[in-house]
Amino acid sequence: MVEEEQKYEVDDTFVLPDLSATAPVGGRVRVLPPMTLVARYLDTVDLRLARAGASLRHREGDEPPWTVKLPTGTPGVRHEISRAGPAGQPPPELVELVTVLHRGMPLTPVTVVRTVRHAHEVCAGDGTVLAEVVDDRVSVLDHTGAVTSTFREVEVERKAGDRELLGRIGSALRDAGARAGAFTPKHVRALGPGAQAEPDLVAPGELADDPSAGDVVTEAVRKEVRRLLANDPLVRLGGPTGGDSAVHQLRVACRRLRSDLRTFRPLVRRSWARPLRDELRWLAGVLGGARDAEVLRERLRRTATADPLSPLDPDAVDRLDDALAQRQRQALAAIDEALRSPRYLALVDALVLAARAPRLTRRAATPAARTLPKLVARPWRQLTGPDGVDGLDPLAPDDRWHAVRKQGKQARYAVTAVLPAVGRDARRLARALARVQDVLGEHQDAAVAAETWLALAAERPDDHGLAVTAGRLAERERDTVHQMRARFPDAWHRATRRRRTRWLP
């Protein structure tokens, strides 16, 4: 569940305005009875969760009472996951969701917040709750239950309404004297400056006008580490599959970071980068089975319905999908086991340290604009040379085309990594290489799918209907392979135009 809310600072003299005018025509405002909520927050002793914008709490009056909130990168918008459990024992599932934040450190009570809440629901004519406005009087309690500080705030949470409604409510609150400020969760205010210190994971920033090569390396590492760790809890939650799933994003982050460490090899300490690349290869491998099953299941339905004039046996297609679903369940179980392992916890620790301070060589101090194009030239030459596209026979086996695809991906990742230093010319090449990768990726997916459909049918030799359907699917996939080979020369020609490659030495 995604929670979207806005906070407003108010003093003790503030009077909540009449919100009726903010409701849509035919709507109304429903006033709920006051309630008292007591929330106990858990964190590490150094407040790793709070500093990262996350929280784990038990709140009396909620059902279920345990809640984890995770940042999304957008102020006021957080992932909210709640589970049942006794007051003294946080559900293991929720503790695991914040693994990349606590990284094995014990979670203990750090603050208690008591809130006296007056809630107002802005409703549509049919009673649907569009937004909730709560006037909270908050007391911070110590371990004896004594009040150590108090504050008051108004929250507006979006429910079924749109952002325009939130804007009208916000205007009414400001007109009444409320002050819109930075989004600061209650427990962060309660914990004080320590909870507002910098998080352990250093976020990407803005590069200087004339960055060093090391500056670009550092930002590239931070970007992919951030992507990897942000998708960890989403993978654990078992979110949507296919397309741009969390499993896919986690795997992409592994691959890009490994690629960047390889491209920037002369700029990073080998003794530091090599073990990191090895562990990222391990994690990407674990993720591979689930991602492959995602792609194949999505492709199965698309290929099966590609020609409405020549429909396939839907029951046979379902049997193929069932077999892939079984593979996917096994692969997801392997991911779950890996993410709970000490090996993964050690990798997360290493990634957080890597984002804070990559181990660079002396050459990293040189100007990026002078150094980085030379590093990109190496994967570019491999892609364009006799072992790459120049030696690619249109009738070559699928494996040969796949090898070029991997070279193309390495070159594209390298070009993308140096974009902040090279600018427009590199951006042009990156876009063109993305189109090349689209062609080669579709070629590879079709080739793998054709083999998979036939292999699944071979596992059930007595299922003749399945064999026929798998054969027809394989024919369609091979037709796609031929189409992609025909499209490749034009995509490659566009990518290698001089205006896109002139910055390469």
For the cut 90, the answer to whether the pLDDT of residue 143 exceeds it is no
What pLDDT is stored for residue 3 in this prediction? 86
How confident is the model over 380-424, as pLDDT tens digits? Answer: 999 999 999 999 999 999 999 999 999 999 999 999 999 888 888
In 3D space, the residue among 16, 27, 323, 254 whose CA is nearest the CA of residue 153 turns out to be 16
What pLDDT is stored for residue 182 in this prediction? 77
CB atoms within 10 A of CB 125: 11
* Range of weakest confidence among 52-61, 80-89, 176-185, 241-250: 241-250
* Band of residue 238 on the pLDDT scale cut at 50, 70, 90: confident
Who's near 43: CB < 8 A, 6+ residues apart? 49, 50, 55, 56, 107, 108, 110
Structure-token pair, residue 342: 């000490």
CA distance 47 to 42: 9
CB atoms within 10 A of CB 353: 17
CA distance 376 to 413: 9
CA distances from 65 to 77, 87, 92, 239, 428 (A): 20, 8, 14, 22, 51
How many residues would you count in the chain? 505
What pLDDT is stored for residue 425 in this prediction? 86
Structure-token pair, residue 34: 């006051």
128 close to 160: Cβ distance less than 8 angstroms? yes
Q: Are strands 147-158 and 55-60 parallel, antiparallel or unpaired?
A: unpaired
pTM for the structure as a whole = 0.90
- Mean pLDDT of all residues in 346-358: 97
How confident is the model over 42-85, as pLDDT tens digits? Answer: 999 999 999 999 999 999 988 899 999 999 888 889 999 999 99
How confident is the model over 111-123, as pLDDT tens digits? Answer: 999 999 999 999 9
Long-range contacts of 133-136 (CB under 8 A, 24+ apart): 133/16, 133/19, 133/157, 133/169, 133/173, 135/10, 135/16, 136/186
Helical H segments across 98-245, by residue range: 99-102, 163-175, 186-191, 213-236
